[in-house]
Structure 1
Amino acid sequence: MHRSLQQLADTDGGVVVRRAALQVVDHTVIDRAATSGDIVRVCPKTFVDAARGADRRTLLRAVARYGGEHGALSHTSALEVWRLPAPATGPIHLTVEHGHQLRGATGVRVHRRKAPLDDVAVRDRMRVVRVERAVVDSWPLLELDAGRAPAIVAVNRRMTTPDRLMAAVEQAPRIGGRRGLVRLVELLQAGCRSQLELWGYQRVFVGAGFEGLRWQAPVRIGGHTVYLDAFDAGTGVDFELDGTEFHAGLADRERDLRRDAALQAEGFTVVRFSHARLRRDPDGVRRDALAVMGARAGAWLQHWRRPSSAG
C-alpha cells in the first residue's frame, strides 16, 4: 500500500475515508489500493486496511466514520461498543438523522430516525447511541436470555439505572415485544440483578409468605455494604441464589463463606440455593424457604430485642 495511505489508515484505527485520503494522496492511489485489495470497501467512500478487514472493532469504526456527525452506531452494534453482551456477528447497525441520505451496504443496516439524534455519546472515538437507547433498540433483535443480558449487565456495572431504562422504553412505544421489556425493567427496579434472580422472583419466591422479600437489600457489615439477594426483614433470613457465572471456583466459594460468617455473626440466617436446584425443583425450594422463615422468626425478634433490654 502507498506509504501515505498506510499512515492514514494507521492513524485512524485501520479506516480510510476517501475525503480525508484525498488530502494526502491522488484519487488514483486510492482507486489502485481498492483494486489491488490493499483496502476493502465497507461503506460508500469508506474503506478499511485489508490486514484488519476481519477485525470487528475496525469495521465498527469504519461504519461510525461513514455516519459522521449525523449518524451513530446503534442497536446491537452500540452494545458491542459499550462492551455489553451482544452477538459479534451479523450486520452493523447505524442510525442517522432524518433527511440525511446515507445508504446501507453489504453487512451494514441503516436506520432513519425522525426525531433528532440527541442521545449520542463518543466512546473509543466512535459516535454511538447511549446505553439505554442501545438496550431498548436491541430488544426485538435478541431472544430470551440474550435479550435480557444487556440490561442486567448495564445496571450491574452502573452504566445506567432501571429508571433511566424505563424512561427510554417510554420513548419507544412501538418497539416489538415491548410488554416483555417493560416487565424486565420493572424487575430490575424491584432489585433483581441476574438472570437467576429474575427466575427466582417470577417462578420460585412467589405467593403467600414471600410478600416481604427485598431483592438486593443493602446491609452494613464490618464497615462495608453487602447486598443480599432476597432478604426477609421479618425473619432475618437471606436467600442467596448461586448462579453458575459467579460461583464456579474455589476463590468464589471462600469469599461466600466469609461473607456468610460475617452475616451470621450479626444474627442473619443465610440459606443458599444452587442454580441447578432453583431450576429443577422450584416447589421444593419454596417449601424449604418457608420452613426456614417460620423457624427463624422468633430467633430474629429475640436477637433484636436483646440490646434494648440490656440497656
Structure 2
Amino acid sequence: MDRLLLALAARGGVASARQLASAGCSRHFLESAVRDGLVIRLRRGWFALPSVPVDERRAVAAGGVLTCASALASRKVWVLAERELHVAVAPNAVRSPARGVRLHWSRWPGCGQETSSRDGIRASALHAVACLPEEEAVMALDSVVDRGLLPYDDLIELSSLASAGRRRVFDLVVRGCQSGLETRIRLAAVRLRTRVRAQVPVEGVGSVDNVIGDCLAVETDGRAFHTGSVALEEDYRRTLALQARGFVVVRLSSRQVLHDWPATEASLAGLVRRRVHLWTPSQRRRLQNEG
C-alpha cells in the first residue's frame, strides 16, 4: 500500500491506472485503497490522493487538467471570481462540458502541464489571454509577474504564441502592479489616454499605487475597511505627506473598484477632464526651482 501512495505522491497526487501499474501497483492494491478511503477514483482509470485540491480533482474527473483562471487562482494569482471551472483537454478530445465547466482545447509548444491535474503557468497564462475579457486577463498577467511566477521578459515572449487579436493584452502588462485593483485603475487611465505610472516612489511617503498624469495619486486598499488605529494613522500620514508635495490624493476601497466600478471610473474620468491630474504652471515653476 505504501508503494501505491508513494507512486501517487511522486506524480503530484494524481495518476492513471497505467502509470501506477508501471510503478508496480496492482489493480488489487488500487481497489483496496479506494475501499479504505486512502485513494479517490476520479474517473475510469484515474486516481488521486485525498490531499489533492478539490478543483484539481474535479478537472481530472471532467477529462482534463485545471487551467486558465482556475489554475491561476490556485497559485494565488489575482483573478476575479469565476463561476466556471476551467479545464484543459486534449485537442482531439470529444467532450461536452459538465455544468459549471469550461473546456479549453488549445495547446502551445513548450507550454505543458505542471502535474497530471494542473496546467503549467505558461499554458494557464495563454489560456487566460485567449479566454478572459481583456481587463481581467491583464489583471491576471500583472499578478503573475508580481508574484514571481514568471519573469516579465519570459511572460512577454509568450505573446508570439497568442492570436493576433489578443497580443494587445501583453502590451498592457507592466511590472509593479501588486493587485488587480491597481491594474484596473491603471487601465482606466490608459483608456483616458493619459500617462499613468505604477508603484511610484515619493520621498517621505513610500510607493504610491498609481500616479495619473503629474499629480493624481490614486491609492487602492484591498482591505474592506481600516479598523486598526495604526493602519488609519499611516493612511492619514501618507495622505498629508502627498498633499504637502502638491499631489491630489484619491483613496479607493476594494468595493469601489470591484463592485461600484462604473461610478468610480466616471469620477476618475471627471477629474482628468478637469485637468486635476496636471501640475499648474506655478507648481511646475516651484518644482523646477526646487530641483
TM-score normalised over the length of structure 2: 0.65
Query: Greater Rg, structure 1 or structure 2?
Result: 1
Q: 1:90 aligns with which of 85, 89, 92?
A: 85
Q: For 1:271, what is the secondary structure of its paired residue? A: strand
* Cα distance in 2, alignment partners of residues 148 and 74 from structure 1: 17
Aligned residue runs from structure 1 range 247-262, under 5 A? 248-250=225-227, 253-262=232-241
Question: Unaligned stretches of 5+ in structure 2?
Answer: none
Q: Equivalent residue of 2:85, what SS?
A: coil
| Residue-by-residue CA offset, 1:146-194 (whole Å, 9 max, x unaligned) | 44431232233344466544431222236xxx3xx44443333498741
- The 8 Å contact of residues 166 and 182 in structure 1, kept in 2 or not, is answered as no
TM-score using structure 1 length:
0.61
1:150 paired to 2:149: no
Provide the C-alpha distance between the structure 1 equivalents of 2:196 and 2:104, rounded to a whole number of angstroms. 43
Counterpart of 1:18 in structure 2 is 17
Which AA in structure 2 matches 1:156? D
Secondary structure, aligned partner of 1:188: coil
Give the counterpart letter for 1:293 in structure 2: L
Pick the aligned partner of 1:215 from 197, 204, 216. Answer: 197
Shift, 1:46, TM fit: 2.0
Paired position in structure 2 for 1:27:
27
Distance change in 2, residues 1:89/1:35 (3 Å): farther
Deviations 1:1-42, CA, capped at 9 Å, x for gaps: x67656765776654542454455532343466689875443
User: What does residue range 282-293 of structure 1 map to in structure 2 within 5 Å?
Assistant: 282=268, 284-288=270-274, 290-291=275-276, 293=278
Correspondence list, 1:1-311, <5 A = 5=4, 14-15=13-14, 17-19=16-18, 21-22=20-21, 23=23, 25-31=25-31, 39-42=39-42, 45-49=45-49, 55-58=54-57, 74-84=67-77, 85=79, 87=82, 89-94=84-89, 111=105, 113=107, 116=109, 118-120=110-112, 122=114, 128-131=119-122, 133-143=123-133, 146-160=136-150, 164-173=154-163, 178=165, 181-189=166-174, 193-203=182-192, 206=193, 210=194, 213-216=195-198, 218-222=200-204, 226-227=207-208, 229-233=210-214, 237=215, 239-243=216-220, 245=222, 248-250=225-227, 253-265=232-244, 267-272=245-250, 274=252, 275=256, 278-282=264-268, 284-288=270-274, 290-291=275-276, 293=278, 296-306=280-290
Aligned length: 270
> What secondary structure sits across from 1:260 in the alignment?
helix
Tell me by how many angstroms 1:74 deviates: 4.3
Letter in 1 for 2:248: V
Residues 247, 57 of structure 1: alpha-carbon distance in 2 compared, 3 angstrom cutoff:
same
Superposed CA RMSD in Å reads 4.6
